[in-house]
Each structure stands twice: as C-alpha cells, then as structure tokens.
C-alpha cells in the first residue's frame, strides 16, 4: 500500500486514463516529458561549464617565442641550402 492507495486502485485509475486519452496521446506526453528532462539536463551542464573558473593564460603561452621561430627558420634555411648544393 502506498499511503492508503493499493496497487489495484492504481491499476484501475491507469486503465481509466488509458481509455480516456488513448495510448497514442499518452506516448506523446511521455516523449515530450522525456525531451523536457533532457533539455533541462543539457541546460544545467552548459551553465556549470560557464561557471567553471578559466585557467589563466600567460603572455608567453599566447605568443610564440620569437627566438624559437627565428631558430626554426634558420635551421629550415640551412636544410634548403644543403639540398640545393647536392
């Protein structure tokens, strides 16, 4: 018993609801309810992601070190010169 209501009483009420609304309408209500719950969960997850603290990016991470870029360019130029000599 659930708070004074037996299983048989719940089954009778469910049967009456099915007779009144039909299974098609009840299926649509169920799918609409499931879609609403899914949308709510997505909204909560998006809100949590927005509220997470962002990692601070240092100036060095934003721009590559010009020395490294120049060194890479020089080594690439040397490789090209070697290939041209061959």
**Which pLDDT score is estimated for 24?**
86
- In a domain, residue 35? The reply is yes
Q: Rounded to whole angstroms, what are the CA distances from 4 to 1, 8, 9, 14, 40?
A: 6, 12, 10, 17, 33
Q: Is the pLDDT of residue 1 over 50?
A: no
The DSSP string of 15-74 is HHHHHHH-HHHHHHHHHHHHHHHHHHHHHHHHHHHHHSPPPPPPHHHHS--HHHHHHHHH
* Domain-located, residue 32: yes
Q: Which long-range contacts (CB under 8 A, 24 or more apart) does 26-33 make?
A: none
pTM summary value: 0.40
Task: Report how many domains make up the chain.
Answer: 1
Q: Is the pLDDT of residue 5 over 70?
A: yes
pLDDT digits (tens, 9 = 90+) for 43-67: 888 877 777 766 565 555 555 555 5
Does residue 30 fall inside a structural domain? yes
Q: Which residue segment(s) compose the domain that 33 sits in?
A: 22-50
Task: Pick 85 or 69 by higher pLDDT.
Answer: 85
Q: Is residue 67 part of a domain?
A: no
Question: What's the pLDDT at 65?
Answer: 55
pLDDT for residue 51: 74
Domain presence at residue 11: no
């Amino acid at each position: 018993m659930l708070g004074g209501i037996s299983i048989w009483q719940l089954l009778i009420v469910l049967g009456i609801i099915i007779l009144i609304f039909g299974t098609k309408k009840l299926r649509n209500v169920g799918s609409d309810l499931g879609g609403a719950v899914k949308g709510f969960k997505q909204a909560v997850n998006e809100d949590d992601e927005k509220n997470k603290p962002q990692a601070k990016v240092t100036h060095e991470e934003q721009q590559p070190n010009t020395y490294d870029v120049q060194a890479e360019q020089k080594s690439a130029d040397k490789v090209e010169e070697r290939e041209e000599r061959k």
